[in-house]
Structure 1
Amino acid sequence: MGKIYSKEYELHYYDVDSNLKCSIATILNILSDIGTKQSEELGSGMEGLLKNNMTWVFYNYNVRVNRYPMYGEKLLVKTEPAGFKKFYAIRKYEIKDESGNLVVEANAIFLLINLEKRRTMRIPLEQYEIYGLKGDIDGEFKIPK
Protein backbone atom coordinates (compact mmCIF):
# COMPACT_ATOMS: atom_id res chain seq x y z
CA MET A 1 0.00 0.00 0.00
CA GLY A 2 1.06 3.57 -0.63
CA LYS A 3 0.89 6.91 1.09
CA ILE A 4 -2.43 7.74 2.76
CA TYR A 5 -4.03 11.14 2.21
CA SER A 6 -7.11 12.58 3.92
CA LYS A 7 -9.14 15.75 3.65
CA GLU A 8 -12.33 17.13 5.18
CA TYR A 9 -15.27 18.06 2.98
CA GLU A 10 -18.54 19.80 3.82
CA LEU A 11 -21.60 19.16 1.67
CA HIS A 12 -23.03 22.35 0.14
CA TYR A 13 -26.42 22.98 -1.46
CA TYR A 14 -25.05 22.21 -4.94
CA ASP A 15 -23.87 18.77 -3.73
CA VAL A 16 -27.32 17.49 -2.81
CA ASP A 17 -30.67 16.70 -4.42
CA SER A 18 -34.12 18.08 -3.58
CA ASN A 19 -34.25 15.82 -0.50
CA LEU A 20 -30.93 17.30 0.73
CA LYS A 21 -29.25 13.95 0.10
CA CYS A 22 -25.78 13.78 -1.48
CA SER A 23 -25.90 12.59 -5.09
CA ILE A 24 -23.77 9.77 -6.50
CA ALA A 25 -22.27 12.32 -8.91
CA THR A 26 -21.06 14.36 -5.92
CA ILE A 27 -19.55 11.25 -4.34
CA LEU A 28 -17.63 10.50 -7.55
CA ASN A 29 -16.51 14.14 -7.77
CA ILE A 30 -15.20 13.99 -4.19
CA LEU A 31 -13.30 10.77 -4.94
CA SER A 32 -11.80 12.31 -8.06
CA ASP A 33 -10.92 15.51 -6.20
CA ILE A 34 -9.11 13.85 -3.30
CA GLY A 35 -6.97 11.74 -5.63
CA THR A 36 -6.02 14.87 -7.56
CA LYS A 37 -5.26 16.77 -4.33
CA GLN A 38 -2.96 14.00 -3.13
CA SER A 39 -1.14 13.93 -6.46
CA GLU A 40 -0.67 17.70 -6.38
CA GLU A 41 0.70 17.63 -2.82
CA LEU A 42 3.13 14.86 -3.80
CA GLY A 43 4.36 16.88 -6.78
CA SER A 44 2.67 14.79 -9.45
CA GLY A 45 -0.36 16.95 -10.18
CA MET A 46 -2.09 17.72 -13.44
CA GLU A 47 0.44 20.32 -14.61
CA GLY A 48 3.37 17.95 -14.13
CA LEU A 49 1.59 15.11 -15.87
CA LEU A 50 0.63 17.30 -18.82
CA LYS A 51 4.23 18.56 -19.17
CA ASN A 52 5.20 14.91 -19.58
CA ASN A 53 2.35 14.23 -22.04
CA MET A 54 0.51 11.87 -19.72
CA THR A 55 -2.67 11.71 -17.70
CA TRP A 56 -4.58 9.30 -15.47
CA VAL A 57 -8.09 8.23 -16.51
CA PHE A 58 -10.72 6.23 -14.62
CA TYR A 59 -11.01 2.76 -16.13
CA ASN A 60 -13.31 1.02 -13.67
CA TYR A 61 -14.64 1.59 -10.19
CA ASN A 62 -16.72 -0.05 -7.50
CA VAL A 63 -18.52 2.22 -5.03
CA ARG A 64 -20.41 0.92 -1.99
CA VAL A 65 -22.68 3.49 -0.37
CA ASN A 66 -23.73 2.51 3.16
CA ARG A 67 -25.59 5.79 3.62
CA TYR A 68 -25.94 8.88 1.47
CA PRO A 69 -24.60 11.89 3.41
CA MET A 70 -26.89 14.89 3.85
CA TYR A 71 -26.62 18.65 3.26
CA GLY A 72 -24.27 20.36 5.71
CA GLU A 73 -22.55 17.16 6.84
CA LYS A 74 -18.82 17.26 7.35
CA LEU A 75 -17.03 14.26 5.92
CA LEU A 76 -13.53 12.87 6.32
CA VAL A 77 -12.36 11.41 3.03
CA LYS A 78 -9.32 9.16 2.87
CA THR A 79 -7.52 7.70 -0.14
CA GLU A 80 -4.54 5.46 -0.68
CA PRO A 81 -2.85 4.13 -3.80
CA ALA A 82 -3.11 0.35 -3.35
CA GLY A 83 -0.77 -0.70 -6.13
CA PHE A 84 0.50 -0.48 -9.69
CA LYS A 85 0.94 -3.06 -12.41
CA LYS A 86 2.30 -2.07 -15.82
CA PHE A 87 -0.10 0.72 -16.89
CA TYR A 88 -2.81 0.07 -14.27
CA ALA A 89 -3.15 1.73 -10.88
CA ILE A 90 -5.60 0.88 -8.13
CA ARG A 91 -6.73 3.39 -5.51
CA LYS A 92 -8.85 2.85 -2.39
CA TYR A 93 -11.19 5.40 -0.84
CA GLU A 94 -13.18 5.80 2.38
CA ILE A 95 -15.68 8.48 3.34
CA LYS A 96 -16.60 8.72 7.03
CA ASP A 97 -19.10 10.96 8.79
CA GLU A 98 -18.35 13.11 11.85
CA SER A 99 -19.04 10.13 14.13
CA GLY A 100 -16.47 8.02 12.29
CA ASN A 101 -19.06 5.83 10.58
CA LEU A 102 -18.06 4.52 7.16
CA VAL A 103 -20.63 5.94 4.74
CA VAL A 104 -18.88 5.19 1.43
CA GLU A 105 -16.04 2.93 0.38
CA ALA A 106 -14.69 2.58 -3.11
CA ASN A 107 -11.96 1.12 -5.27
CA ALA A 108 -10.95 2.45 -8.65
CA ILE A 109 -8.66 1.32 -11.43
CA PHE A 110 -6.89 4.00 -13.44
CA LEU A 111 -4.92 3.80 -16.66
CA LEU A 112 -1.92 5.98 -17.41
CA ILE A 113 -2.31 7.45 -20.90
CA ASN A 114 0.38 8.87 -23.16
CA LEU A 115 -1.37 11.93 -24.60
CA GLU A 116 0.91 12.23 -27.60
CA LYS A 117 0.47 8.60 -28.71
CA ARG A 118 -3.09 8.37 -27.36
CA ARG A 119 -2.59 4.99 -25.75
CA THR A 120 -1.75 3.43 -22.41
CA MET A 121 1.80 3.68 -21.18
CA ARG A 122 3.86 1.85 -18.58
CA ILE A 123 3.88 3.67 -15.25
CA PRO A 124 7.31 5.32 -14.80
CA LEU A 125 9.39 4.30 -11.76
CA GLU A 126 9.26 7.83 -10.33
CA GLN A 127 5.48 7.42 -9.93
CA TYR A 128 6.10 4.38 -7.69
CA GLU A 129 8.42 6.48 -5.53
CA ILE A 130 6.04 9.46 -5.41
CA TYR A 131 3.15 7.32 -4.13
CA GLY A 132 5.27 5.16 -1.81
CA LEU A 133 4.82 1.91 -3.72
CA LYS A 134 7.59 -0.70 -3.83
CA GLY A 135 6.74 -2.64 -6.99
CA ASP A 136 4.03 -4.22 -9.09
CA ILE A 137 1.12 -6.11 -7.55
CA ASP A 138 1.52 -9.87 -7.99
CA GLY A 139 -1.09 -11.97 -9.74
CA GLU A 140 -4.23 -10.91 -11.56
CA PHE A 141 -5.05 -7.23 -11.42
CA LYS A 142 -8.73 -6.66 -10.79
CA ILE A 143 -10.86 -4.36 -8.73
CA PRO A 144 -11.88 -5.62 -5.28
CA LYS A 145 -15.65 -5.95 -4.88
Structure 2
Amino acid sequence: MAALCFSAFVYAQGEHNIYAHNGPTNITDASEMTCTPFGTCEPCPEAARNQPFCQPFGNRQLMHCSLPPSPSQDSHTSQPRQSTAVGEHLAWRACGRVIALESRDFGEFFACLVVFALVSTSLVVWRERRVSIGRQMALRARIWGR
Protein backbone atom coordinates (compact mmCIF):
# COMPACT_ATOMS: atom_id res chain seq x y z
CA MET A 1 0.00 0.00 0.00
CA ALA A 2 2.89 2.34 0.71
CA ALA A 3 4.18 1.88 -2.84
CA LEU A 4 0.74 2.67 -4.22
CA CYS A 5 0.52 5.77 -2.04
CA PHE A 6 3.99 6.85 -3.10
CA SER A 7 3.18 6.39 -6.78
CA ALA A 8 0.11 8.57 -6.42
CA PHE A 9 1.66 11.44 -4.44
CA VAL A 10 0.07 14.80 -4.97
CA TYR A 11 0.05 17.99 -3.03
CA ALA A 12 -3.37 18.39 -1.47
CA GLN A 13 -3.56 22.10 -2.14
CA GLY A 14 -2.70 22.19 -5.84
CA GLU A 15 -3.01 18.52 -6.74
CA HIS A 16 0.35 18.56 -8.51
CA ASN A 17 2.27 15.34 -8.93
CA ILE A 18 5.15 15.08 -6.46
CA TYR A 19 7.47 13.95 -9.24
CA ALA A 20 7.15 17.44 -10.70
CA HIS A 21 8.84 18.78 -7.55
CA ASN A 22 12.17 20.36 -8.55
CA GLY A 23 13.91 20.04 -5.20
CA PRO A 24 15.89 17.01 -4.07
CA THR A 25 14.02 14.31 -2.25
CA ASN A 26 15.41 12.16 0.54
CA ILE A 27 13.00 9.25 0.03
CA THR A 28 14.99 6.23 -1.05
CA ASP A 29 12.37 3.50 -0.97
CA ALA A 30 8.59 3.90 -1.03
CA SER A 31 8.12 0.66 0.92
CA GLU A 32 9.75 2.33 3.95
CA MET A 33 6.95 4.89 4.19
CA THR A 34 4.07 4.60 6.62
CA CYS A 35 0.76 5.98 5.39
CA THR A 36 -2.26 6.71 7.55
CA PRO A 37 -5.70 7.73 6.27
CA PHE A 38 -6.80 11.27 7.05
CA GLY A 39 -10.40 12.30 6.52
CA THR A 40 -13.14 10.53 4.64
CA CYS A 41 -13.61 9.41 1.06
CA GLU A 42 -14.51 12.26 -1.27
CA PRO A 43 -15.32 12.47 -4.97
CA CYS A 44 -12.40 13.24 -7.27
CA PRO A 45 -12.50 16.52 -9.18
CA GLU A 46 -12.95 16.29 -12.94
CA ALA A 47 -9.28 17.15 -13.60
CA ALA A 48 -8.06 14.15 -11.58
CA ARG A 49 -10.58 11.51 -12.69
CA ASN A 50 -8.07 9.59 -14.82
CA GLN A 51 -5.38 9.47 -12.11
CA PRO A 52 -4.69 6.05 -10.54
CA PHE A 53 -5.81 7.21 -7.10
CA CYS A 54 -9.30 7.98 -8.47
CA GLN A 55 -9.88 4.55 -9.99
CA PRO A 56 -12.16 2.54 -10.09
CA PHE A 57 -15.00 4.42 -8.34
CA GLY A 58 -13.90 8.04 -8.83
CA ASN A 59 -13.32 8.62 -5.11
CA ARG A 60 -10.18 9.36 -3.14
CA GLN A 61 -9.00 9.66 0.45
CA LEU A 62 -6.22 11.87 1.77
CA MET A 63 -3.24 10.01 3.24
CA HIS A 64 -0.42 11.32 5.43
CA CYS A 65 2.75 9.40 4.55
CA SER A 66 6.05 9.64 6.39
CA LEU A 67 9.15 7.65 7.07
CA PRO A 68 8.99 5.70 10.33
CA PRO A 69 10.80 7.39 13.21
CA SER A 70 14.41 6.41 13.60
CA PRO A 71 15.32 4.37 16.69
CA SER A 72 17.57 7.19 17.92
CA GLN A 73 14.59 9.48 18.50
CA ASP A 74 13.19 9.49 22.02
CA SER A 75 9.71 7.97 21.93
CA HIS A 76 8.74 9.58 25.26
CA THR A 77 8.76 13.12 23.89
CA SER A 78 5.43 13.59 22.26
CA GLN A 79 4.74 16.72 20.31
CA PRO A 80 1.23 17.88 19.46
CA ARG A 81 0.25 16.62 16.02
CA GLN A 82 0.06 19.29 13.38
CA SER A 83 -1.92 19.00 10.17
CA THR A 84 1.29 18.28 8.23
CA ALA A 85 4.37 17.32 10.21
CA VAL A 86 7.90 17.92 8.97
CA GLY A 87 8.92 15.13 6.62
CA GLU A 88 5.33 14.12 6.06
CA HIS A 89 3.97 13.91 2.54
CA LEU A 90 0.38 14.21 1.46
CA ALA A 91 -0.91 11.58 -0.92
CA TRP A 92 -4.22 10.28 -2.18
CA ARG A 93 -5.41 6.70 -2.31
CA ALA A 94 -8.36 5.14 -4.07
CA CYS A 95 -11.26 4.31 -1.84
CA GLY A 96 -14.67 2.73 -2.17
CA ARG A 97 -17.94 4.42 -2.75
CA VAL A 98 -19.01 7.47 -0.76
CA ILE A 99 -22.03 6.32 1.24
CA ALA A 100 -23.75 9.72 1.34
CA LEU A 101 -23.52 10.14 -2.44
CA GLU A 102 -24.63 6.58 -3.11
CA SER A 103 -27.62 7.02 -0.78
CA ARG A 104 -28.57 10.25 -2.50
CA ASP A 105 -28.25 8.66 -5.95
CA PHE A 106 -30.38 5.72 -4.84
CA GLY A 107 -33.00 8.12 -3.47
CA GLU A 108 -33.10 9.98 -6.79
CA PHE A 109 -33.39 6.70 -8.69
CA PHE A 110 -36.19 5.48 -6.45
CA ALA A 111 -38.03 8.81 -6.72
CA CYS A 112 -37.82 8.62 -10.53
CA LEU A 113 -39.22 5.09 -10.46
CA VAL A 114 -42.11 6.21 -8.25
CA VAL A 115 -42.87 9.12 -10.60
CA PHE A 116 -42.77 6.82 -13.65
CA ALA A 117 -45.04 4.32 -11.89
CA LEU A 118 -47.56 7.02 -10.94
CA VAL A 119 -47.59 8.54 -14.43
CA SER A 120 -47.91 5.18 -16.19
CA THR A 121 -50.61 3.97 -13.80
CA SER A 122 -52.54 7.21 -14.30
CA LEU A 123 -52.28 6.85 -18.08
CA VAL A 124 -53.47 3.23 -17.98
CA VAL A 125 -56.46 4.13 -15.76
CA TRP A 126 -57.35 7.10 -18.00
CA ARG A 127 -57.06 4.93 -21.14
CA GLU A 128 -59.22 2.18 -19.64
CA ARG A 129 -61.90 4.71 -18.72
CA ARG A 130 -61.87 6.16 -22.24
CA VAL A 131 -62.12 2.68 -23.80
CA SER A 132 -64.91 1.75 -21.38
CA ILE A 133 -66.86 4.91 -22.26
CA GLY A 134 -66.41 4.13 -25.96
CA ARG A 135 -67.70 0.59 -25.49
CA GLN A 136 -70.70 1.80 -23.48
CA MET A 137 -71.57 4.31 -26.22
CA ALA A 138 -71.28 1.58 -28.88
CA LEU A 139 -73.53 -0.74 -26.84
CA ARG A 140 -76.11 2.02 -26.35
CA ALA A 141 -76.08 2.73 -30.07
CA ARG A 142 -76.72 -0.96 -30.81
CA ILE A 143 -79.50 -1.23 -28.27
CA TRP A 144 -81.27 1.99 -29.22
CA GLY A 145 -80.54 1.55 -32.88
CA ARG A 146 -78.84 4.82 -33.53
With normalisation by structure 2, the TM-score equals: 0.25
Q: Decide which structure has the larger Cα Rg and report it.
A: 2
Q: For CA contacts below 8 A with separation 6 or more, give which structure has more relative contact order.
A: 1
More helix by share: 2
